[in-house]
Amino acid sequence: MYRQVRELEIAGYANVLKATMLPVVVPPVFRLKTDPQRIFLPPYSFNAGLLCNATEVDAEEMAALEAAGELTLFEQPFPAQPGFELWIDQSFAHHYEPRSQADQTLLSIARGSIQQAQAALRENNLEEAERLSTVALSADDRLVEPLAVKAAIR
């Protein structure tokens, strides 16, 4: 199954998040603009502006998944764009922006959290250092500095 991303809108995301998991990139739940009863769930991939190999469900199945706590749905769907990333910030607000911009924003959040975690560690505020290093890892799991903070706490 292949769909042009521009034919879709974002109805929500396929994760139910706790505050300790934020900020984080989430996989969108898509629906067809011309037929909102057709919903597309992860896992899927993207290729040249196409959504590829998504699992298709109907609105009833989507409602059951939301009730089971497997999906978070938005009050108002919005248009999907190729090359964009959906992420959730620490106040549970969603952001949908070009992937490069999302990566840059999340890296900035991670670096700020690392600096704060290191300061908390120097002040022997271990609980805050742990929390902030977790924020940094959630924002960008490629960084090693948050792991170093966690190791120093142990």
CA gap 29, 58 in Å, rounded: 12
Answer yes or no: is pLDDT of 1 > 80: no
Quote the pTM value: 0.89
What rounded mean pLDDT belongs to the chain? 95
Percent of the chain scoring above 70 in pLDDT: 100
For 15-48, write each residue's pLDDT tens digit.
Answer: 878 888 899 999 999 999 999 999 999 999 999 9
Task: Please check whether residue 86 is in contact with residue 105, taking contact to mean a CB–CB distance below 8 angstroms.
Answer: no
pLDDT of residue 17: 86
Task: Please check whether residue 146 is in contact with residue 101, taking contact to mean a CB–CB distance below 8 angstroms.
Answer: no
Q: Which SS3 state, helix, strand or coil, does residue 69 take?
A: coil
pLDDT of residue 105: 97
User: What is the arithmetic mean of pLDDT over 108-112?
Assistant: 96
Measure Cα distances from 54 to 1, 45, 74, 89 in Å: 7, 7, 19, 25
Instruction: Please name the residues in contact with 68: beta carbons below 8 A apart, sequence gap of 6 or more.
Output: none
